[in-house]
Amino acid sequence: MAQEAKNQDLPPLVTRKAVKTKKELDLLLGDKGARYYKEMEVFPVDTAALKKTLDATCKSRLRTWLEICAHCSLCADSCFFYLANDNDPKQIPSYKIKSTLGELVKRKGNVDTKFMINCMDTAWGKCTCCNRCGMYCPHGIDMGVMFGYLRGLCFSQGFVPHEMKIGSCMHWLYNAQMDVTVEDYVETCEWMAEENEEYYPGLEIPVDKVGADIMYVVNAREPKHYPQDLAEAAILFHLAGESWTVPSKGWEGTSLAMFAGDWACCKQQVEGVYAAMERLKVKRYVGTECGHQHRATITEGPYWAGRKSGEPPAPGLHYVEWVLEALETGKLKLDPAKKIKEPVTLQDPCNYVRNHGLTDVTRKIMSYIAEDFREMSPNREHNFCCGGGGGMNGIGRYREERNIGLKVKREQILATGAKFVVSACHNCWDAIRDLEEVYKIGIKWSFLKPILLEMVIVPDHLKPKEE
Amino acid sequence: MYEFVSGPLALISFAIFFVGIIIRIVWYVKGLDWQLDRVAYSEKLGAGIKGAARSLFHWLLPLNRTTANHPVFMAVTYLFHICLVLTPIFLMAHVVLIEESWNISWVTLPDKVADYMTLAVIAAGIFFLIRRLTDPNVKILTTASDYIVLAIALAPFITGYIAYHQWELGAGYKFWLIIHILCGEIMLIAIPFTKLSHFVLSFCSRIQLGMDYGIKRGGTKGRGIAW
C-alpha cells in the first residue's frame, strides 16, 4: 500500500506525448517496466484524437486492404510466428491485423484501454514488420505495412512498449538510439584511430571532412558497446584507400523511433543525417552493417523528411554494397588461401533484402570469403525474419514470444548443415546470438568486417615500418 | 415482372455497377499519398510502372510462390475467377439479349462449354464453403459477410443453371429465369459496395504494392522483386 501511495506522487510514466527531456528519460530508465505497464492498464484512450488521426491518415490504401481481404488464410504460413507457434490460427497475419487495426477502423477509434493494450501486444509482440506476408497475399495486402501504421497509432496514444518509449526519447535527446553524445562519439573515433595506428600507420577516422567521397554512418551500439567495429570499418576504408569521413552531428543512422512509431522523431532523426550529408558535401553515404539503419535512413527516411524524390541527398549504400564494390574493383584484395573452409550460411536481413532488393550483393561477397557457402531455404526476398526484427529483440515484455519465434531460424540454420552464420545486420546478429544462447545448437556468427579483416591483404606501402 | 427485371432494373443495375466501380477506382487513386504511403508514385513513375507490371504479371498468371505452396487452392481459385468472369460475358443467351436491345454482339461460348464453366463456378464455390466451415485457419477469419458475399456470387450461376436446363423445381421456367436475372442484378449492385469490390480494387492493390516494390523496395536495385 505504501508503495502504491508513493507511486501516485510520482510523475506518470505513460504519456501520449513523446518523452523529450532528460528528467523524464531518467524516470523511465529508473523503472524496469513494472510501474509503466501497471499505469498503462488504467491509462485512458483519447478516442477523439484517435478518430482524428484515423480520418487524416488512414487513407484508401489501408482501408482497401482491410476491406478486400478475402479471409482466405493464404498468408498464414508466410508468417514465422504462425509456424513457430505450431500453426496457431491466432498468429495468422490477417487475423492479427483484422482483430486490431481492422476493429479500430471499424469502430472509428472508439475503443478502450484493454483493446489498445492488445493492439500493442500484437503490433510489437506478434509482428516484426518483416513484410513477408505481403509477398504471399494474392491481393497484395502488406500486413507489415499496416502493423507499422498501427504502431504509430499506438504510440500516439501512449500504448507503446517501455523500451520503445525509451528508444524514441533517446533519439529526441541524443539523435541516437543510445545516450551517446556527439562529444562521446568523436572521442571514440579518436580513441579507436589511436589504438590501431600502430598496426596501420596513417590510419585515421576523419571527422567532418568536407568533400569526402564517403560519409560513414554507424549504429550507436558500436561506439557504446563495441567500438572495435568502428576501428574495423576505419581499417578497411584505409586499406581500400577511400576518401571518407564520419560526421560529428548526424553520425547515427538507426532509428528506434521507426520501431516505436514516433513519426515526428523519425523525421528529426533522419534530417540530422541528411544535414550532415549536405554540410559535408559528400558523394555517397555508407551505413554500417545494420538493416534498420538502411531502412530508416535510406529507404523510408526521405519520405519522413518530405523529399518528393524518395531519395536521400546523397546516394545511400548499405555496407555490403560498399564491400562488394571494393572487392570487385580490387580496392580490397583478399587472400584466397584464407577463405573460410567450413560450411557457412548467410542471413538475409529483411530490411535491406526484401525491402531494398540487395539479394545478389551479399552472395557475391560470399563467393570471395567462403569455400562452402550454403543457402538457407527459403532465402533472398523470401527469407524469414531472424526473429528479432522490428524492435522485438529489445522488448522485455515479449522475450518469451521472441524466443519461440527463433525456432524457425534455428531450423533453417540447422538444415544447411553449417555452423557458421554470416549476418551483416545488428538485429539479426543479436537474434542469432540469442538463438544460440537459448537453444544451444553449436553455431557461431559474425559480421562481415571481422571476416574481411582476417583475409585482407595489406598493401606494402600501408604496412608498419620494420624497426 | 420479366419485362421489369430484364428492362429498367437491368439498366439501373448496370449503371450502379459501372458508376460504382469507377467511383471506387477514383477514390482509391485519389487516396494514395506519396508521403503517407512512403512511395514516390509520380516522381519515379517509370520504376513504378515496371514494378506494377511485374506484380500483375506474376499474379494474373500462376507465377508466384503462393501458387507453388498451395497448388490445389490456387488452381480452384484461378478456375473459379476465370469462369465467373467469362461465362456471363460470352454466354450465347446473354449476347443474344444484348443484340436484341442494342444491336451489338460478340463471339459466344458453345453452350456445352458454358455449362461446364457454370458447374465449375458452383463446384469451386462449394469448395470454398467447405473450406470456410472446416479449416481452422479460415474459420477464425470468417465473418457472416464472407458467406453472404459467396452466396451473392454463386446465386446467378446456380439459378442460371436451373433456368437454362428448364428445371421446374416446383416453380417453373419463368420463375427461375426472373430469379436468375434478379440474382445477377444483385451481384452487379453489390460489387461496388461489398468485398466484391475486389473485382477492381484487387488490381489497384496489386498495382500499388508493385509500385511500392518497384520504386522504393529495391526495384531500382538488383533484379526487382521475385514474387
Q: Which of A67, A89, A306 is nearest residue B137 as measured by Cβ atoms?
A: A89
A377 touches chain B (CB under 8 A): no
Task: Write out residues 300-339 of A within 8 Å (CB-CB) of B.
Answer: 300, 302-304, 306, 308-310
* Contact residues, chain B, for A77 at CB < 8 Å: 69
CB A158 within 8 A of CB A14: yes
Q: Are residues A339 and A314 in the same domain?
A: no
Query: Which site among A64, A142, A355 would you substitute to test the B interface, given the most B Cβ atoms closer than 10 Å to its Cβ?
Result: A64
| A73 CB within 8 Å of a chain B CB | yes
- The verdict on A358 and A302 lying in the same domain is no
- List pLDDT tens digits, range B88-126: 999 999 999 999 988 999 999 999 999 999 999 999 999
Cell numbers at residue A185, please?
562519439
pLDDT bin (cut points 50, 70, 90) of residue B1 is confident
- For residue range B58-94, list pLDDT tens digits in order: 999 999 999 999 999 999 999 999 999 999 999 999 9
Q: Is A359 on the interface with B (CB under 8 A)?
A: yes
Low-confidence stretches of chain A (pLDDT beneath 50): 1-5
- Domain-embedded: residue A109: yes
β-strands A340-346, A370-374 pairing = parallel
- All cell numbers assigned to A93: 497475419
Measured distance CA(A26)–CA(A158) in Å, rounded: 18
Residue A236: its pLDDT value, please? 98
User: Which chain A residue's Cα is nearest to B136?
Assistant: A89
Separation of alpha carbons A273 and A249, rounded Å: 8
* A interface test, pick of B76, B134, B138 with most A CB neighbours within 10 Å: B138
Query: Tell me, what CATH number does A296's domain have?
Result: 3.40.50
Q: Which of B140, B191, B198, B204 to mutate to test the interface with A (most CBs of A within 10 A)?
A: B140
Instruction: Tell whether A53 is within 8 A of chain B (Cβ).
Output: no
Residue A43 is predicted with a pLDDT of 98
pLDDT score recorded for residue A390: 97
User: Residue A426: its pLDDT value, please?
Assistant: 97
**In chain B, what residues touch A140 (CB-CB under 8 Å)?**
55, 59, 202, 205-206, 208-210
Mark whether A269 and A359 lie in a shared domain.
Answer: no
The per-residue pLDDT for A412 is 98
B195 neighbors B153 (Cβ within 8 angstroms): no
Interface predicted TM-score (ipTM): 0.96
What is the percent of chain B with per-residue pLDDT over 90, rounded to a whole number? 92
The C-alpha cell at A63 is 482501408
pLDDT of residue A2: 45
For residue A432, give the C-alpha cell: 542469432
pLDDT at B227 over 90: no
Residues A272 and A379 in one domain: no
Q: What is the pLDDT at residue A7?
A: 54
| Residues of chain B positioned with their CB less than 8 A from the CB of A89 | 136-137, 139-140
Query: Is A406 among the domain residues?
Result: yes
Q: Which domain holds residue A242?
A: 173-325
Report pLDDT for A433. 98
Any domain includes A40 = no
Whether residue A141 lies within 8 A of chain B, CB to CB, comes out as yes
Q: Which residue of A has its CA nearest to B150?
A: A70
Tell me: do A304 and A413 sit in the same domain: no
The pLDDT assigned to A386 comes to 98
Which pLDDT value is given to residue A1? Answer: 42
Residues A447 and A466: their CA atoms lie apart, in Å, by: 31
- Give the residue from A294, A325, A356 where a domain finishes: A325
Tell me: do A185 and A296 sit in the same domain: yes
Cell numbers found for residue B7 = 428492362
Do A358 and A294 sit in the same domain of this protein?
Answer: no
pLDDT for B170: 87
DSSP output for A385-450: P-S-TTTGGG-GGGHHHHHHHHHHHHHHHHHHT-SEEE--SHHHHHHHHHHHHHH----EEE-HHH
Closest residue in B to A87 (Cα–Cα): B137
Q: Give the nearest partner residue to B44 out of A70, A303, A310, using CB atoms.
A: A310
Cα distances from A373 to residues A120, A339, A457, B223, in angstroms, run: 39, 11, 22, 21
A98 touches chain B (CB under 8 A): yes
For residue A437, being part of any structural domain is answered with yes
Tell me the CATH architecture of domain B2-215.
Answer: Up-down Bundle (1.20)
Q: How long, in residues, is chain A?
A: 467
Helix (H) or strand (E) holding A38: helix A34-40
Task: Give the bridge partners for A318, in sequence order.
Answer: A287
